Amino acid sequence: MDAATQLARSQEIAGKVACVLEKRTQNAMEHYGKRLRAAVDGDAGSDQSATSFATQLNPLSAWHYAVDVAQRSLLFWDTMRERGTQYVERASQELKPALHFDYDIVLDARHFARPVNYALLYIKPPEGVIVDAKKRPYLIIDPRAGHGPGIGGFRDDSQVGVALRAGHPVYFVVFFQNPEPGQTLLDVCAAEQEFVRKVRALHPDSAKPAIIGNCQGGWAAMMLASSSAEDTGPVVINGAPMSYWSGAWSDGAGDNPMRYAGGILGGTWLASFSSDLGNGKFDGAYLVQNFENLNPANTLWDKYYHVYDNIDSEPPRFLEFERWWGGYYLMNREEIEWITRNLFIGNKLWSGEVRGVSGKAFDLREIRSPIVLFASMGDNITPPQQAFNWVTDLYGSTEEIKARGQVIIGLMDQEAGHLGVFVSGKVAKKQHAQIVNVLEMIETLAPGLYAMLIDEVNGADGKLAYEVTFVEHRLEEIAQHFNRFKREDEKPFEAVAELSEFNQRAYELFMQPYVQWMSNETTARCLRQFHPLRFQRWAFSDLNPWLAWLRPAAEAVKANRQHADDIAPWRALEHRGAEIVSASLDHYRAMRDAGTESLFFSLYTAPFLLHFAQRYRSREIAVSTATNPRELPFVKEALASIAQGGYDEAVARAAFLLGRSGEPLSLARLATQRELAETYAEYLPSLPPDQWRRVRGEQELIATYEPQQAIATLPALLAKPEDRQRLLTLLDSLLADTRVQSVPPTAHQWDALQRIRAVLGAAPAVRPEHALS
C-alpha cells in the first residue's frame, strides 16, 4: 500500500473513530439523563403523591432517621473493621481456597520433579449427597487472575454443587499464594496433565473426565485438552478470553474496555517492570485493581452503600465475598510475561505458535471431545467475541469442523457480568446445571457448531424447570453475527503486538538491570503491603489502636438497635441520592471508556503504526470466502473417498440421509437416540466416540454435496453380504420400534429409506401407522 493510499485510509478511519466517539458520548449522556430523572422523580410522580410525601418529612421522623443513620454508620464501619481484621488473620497464615465444600488433597504439585504451586483436591460430597464413583468425574480449573482459587465452588449453588448433586465425583485444581522458584505456565500445564491422569486412574470404569475452565482457567483447560486428548472428556470453558483482540466495536455503548489496556499501557513491559519491583514476583493485587477500575461505581460506591443500606442482614454475605476478593496471590515474572506476550498482547494460543514443555505446539484442533463455550452479553471483561472468535480463526469453514469430527456448542447469557458467569447462584441453577445434564448427551451429537438454548418452563410439580434445545448453525453465520465490522477493528492490535515487542526489548536493555539492582525482598514486601488494596484493609483493622473503641460501640448499637416506622420517606430520599451518585460514576466510566477507545484507535491506526503492524505476522481471518463449498479442501477430500470405507461409513451415511436435518434437537430427543443406540448396539459401529464423530462428519459432507452418489455407492461400502444384511436388519428394527414410530417421518426420510433399500437389493418397506424419527 503506497503512502497516499495509507494516508487516505487513515483519514477515513479517523472519521469513523470520531463518529463512534460522538455516538458513544451521546449514548452516555442520554443514559445518564434517564437515570437522573428517574432518581429525582422517584415515586413522587403525581402532585398528590408529592404532597403526601412532603407531609411525612416532619421533625420527629427526621430525628428518628438521624438516629438510624448514626447506628447504620457505626455498624458499617465496624463491618469494614471486620473485613480488615479478617484480611490480617488470613494474610498471617497460608491462604486457603474459598471453597464452600470440604476437600482432601490428592496430589500436591509442589513435590513434583518440576514443582509448581498447584494441587489437586477431591471435593467431599456434603451430607445427604451421594456420589457414584462410576459416573464421569469433573475436573474444575479456576482462574489465576490475582485472586485465590475457589470461585467455582464458592457456594452451594455453584459448578461444584450442581455436579455433586448430579452424582458426579468432583475434583478441583487449586494453587497456593506463592509460586515455586522458576515455575512457568508450561510447568503448570504439565502438572495439570498429571492431575487428569490421576483422576482417570481413580475412576477406571468411568468416562473420561469433563474439564471445566473458568476465565483464564479456560486457557488451561484448552491447553490441557489439546496436549492430553487421550485423557480428557468434554471441555467447558466459561467466560474465557480465547481470542483477546476481539470485541464489540459498534455504534452503541462501549462494552469491552479491557482489550484496549495493553495498547494504552504500551504492551507487556509494564508487567515485567512490576515483577522486577517485586523481586521477580508479580503481585496479583495489580490485576484485581484493574478489575475494580473497570466499574468505579461498584468499586467506590454501590457495594458499600448496599452494605450500609442493608446493614442488619448484608455484612455476612459481604464479608464472605471479601474473603475471596481480598486474597491476593503472586506469580513469577516468567508466568505473567508468558501470559501477556502469548495471550493478552500476542493472541497466539489459537494460532499454534505456543509450544509446550516437549516443544510440540498446542493445536486446539487436536481436541477430540465436544467443547462447550459459555459467555454472557453482560460481560465487559470477556465479551462473546473473545469467547467465540477463536473458532472462526482456527477452522476455515463449517465443513472443516465436520470433517474433523468436532462438536462445538455455544451457550449465551444475556445479563450476567464476568463474575456472575462463575459465582451467580442463578447462573449455577440454570446454565451450569443444564451443562451437567447435557454433557453425556452431547457426545452423541453429529459434528458441527450448535447453539444451546435453555427455556424456562413449568415443571410437573409446578416448580420452575428448564428445557434444553440444540440448534445447528454455520460458522460463517456466527462470525458475521458477532462481528459486524468483519473484524477490521482487530488490525490495530497487530500494531500493539509489534510495538509491545519493541518496548519490551527496550525495557530489558535500558531499564531492567537498574530496577533489578534496586529491588530486593524487603522492598518488594514493602510495596506489596502498601498497595492500596492491601493498605485499606490492614489500616482499618484491629491492628489500628485508634479503632479500639469501634467494636464495643458497635456491639452496644446492635443490642439497642432501633427500627422506626416513620423514616421511610427519608430512606427514599437517601436512595435517590445514592442513585444519583451511582449514575454519576457510571457516566464517568462511560465517558472514560469512550475516550480510551477513541485514543486507542487514533494512535494505532496512524499510517506509521499500521505499517509497523505489517511486520508483526501475516494473519488472515480464517473464515472461508469460497463461493462454492465444494471447492473447499475438506469437501474435496471427503468426496474423493465417496466409494471408500466399510460398514462404519455406511451406517454413518445412512444415519444422515435418514435424519431430520435442520430441525432443533431437544434434550429428550437426544436421550431417545441414546437409548436406541444402547438397544441396537450390536448393529452399530464399535468405534471410540471421537473416531465415530469424525466418520459421521465426513459422511455428512458426502451426503450433503453428492446425495445421489452417496446412495448409489452404498453397495461398495457394504461389499460383504453379512454387512449388507446387518444394516438392513438395523433399519427394519428401527422401523418397528415404537420409540421411532412416535414421530411420523417426513417425505424426504421415507423416500431416502426406500432408495437405500432398493440399492441394497431389499424389498420396499411397508409404511406403518407411525414411522421414522
pLDDT, tens only, 659-700: 887 788 888 888 888 899 999 999 999 899 889 999 999 999
Per-residue pLDDT at 604:
87
Taking only the tens place, the pLDDT of each residue in 84-109 is 999 999 988 888 898 999 999 999 99
Tens-place pLDDT, residues 358-403: 677 788 888 989 999 999 888 888 888 888 888 988 887 899 999 9
Q: How many residues does the chain have?
A: 773
In a 13 Å sphere around the CA of 602, the CA atoms on its Cβ side amount to 12
* Residue 354: per-residue pLDDT: 74
pLDDT of residue 120: 96
Structure-model confidence comparison of residues 5 and 226, the more confident one: 226
Average pLDDT (545-564) is 92
**CATH of region 103-248+335-492:** 3.40.50.1820
Q: Where are the domains of the chain?
A: 103-248+335-492, 629-759
Residue 729 grid coordinates: 436388519
- The whole model's pTM is what? 0.90
Confidence of residue 613 (pLDDT cuts 50, 70, 90): low
Average pLDDT of 748-757? 90
Q: Regarding predicted confidence, which is higher, 423 or 238?
A: 238
Which amino acid, one-letter code, is at 402?
K
Residue 276 has pLDDT above 90, yes or no: yes
Beta bridge partners of 330: 283
When pLDDT is cut at 50, 70 and 90, the band that residue 624 belongs to is very low
| Confidence band, pLDDT 50/70/90 cuts, at residue 45 | very low
Q: Which of 62-76, 250-264, 530-544 has the lowest mean pLDDT?
A: 250-264
Q: What is the pLDDT of residues 290-345, one digit of tens each?
A: 999 999 999 999 999 999 999 999 999 999 999 989 889 999 999 999 888 888 88
pLDDT tens sequence across 589-608? 999 998 998 899 888 888 77
C-alpha cell at 54: 412532603
Q: pLDDT at residue 210 above 60? A: yes
Give the pLDDT band (50/70/90) at residue 526.
Answer: very high
207: confidence class by pLDDT, cuts 50, 70, 90: very high
Q: How far apart are CA 55 and CA 58, in angstroms?
A: 7
pLDDT level of residue 54 (50, 70, 90 thresholds): low
> What pLDDT is stored for residue 772 in this prediction?
44
Highest mean pLDDT among 88-97, 134-143, 731-740: 134-143
CB-side neighbour CA atoms (13 Å) of 668: 7
Mean pLDDT to the nearest integer, 490-504: 88
Work out the angle at residue 514's Cα, subtended by the Cα atoms of residues 511 and 515, and round it to the nearest 5 degrees. 80
Q: Parallel, antiparallel, or unpaired: how do β-strands 210-214 and 138-141 relate?
A: parallel
Report the alpha-carbon distance of residue 240 to residue 217 in Å, rounded.
Answer: 7
Cα angle for residues 716, 722, 726 (degrees, 5° grid): 95
Backbone angles phi, psi at 388, to 5 degrees: -110, -25
| Nearest CA-CA partner of 247 in 236, 259, 239 | 259
Interatomic CA distance for residues 610 and 612, integer angstroms: 5
Provide the percentage of residues in the chain whose pLDDT is more than 70. 92
Q: What is the Cα–Cα distance from 656 to 693, expressed in whole angstroms?
A: 12
Please name the helix (run of DSSP H) or strand (run of DSSP E) that holds residue 376, with its range, or none: strand 371-376
Determine the pLDDT at residue 618.
47
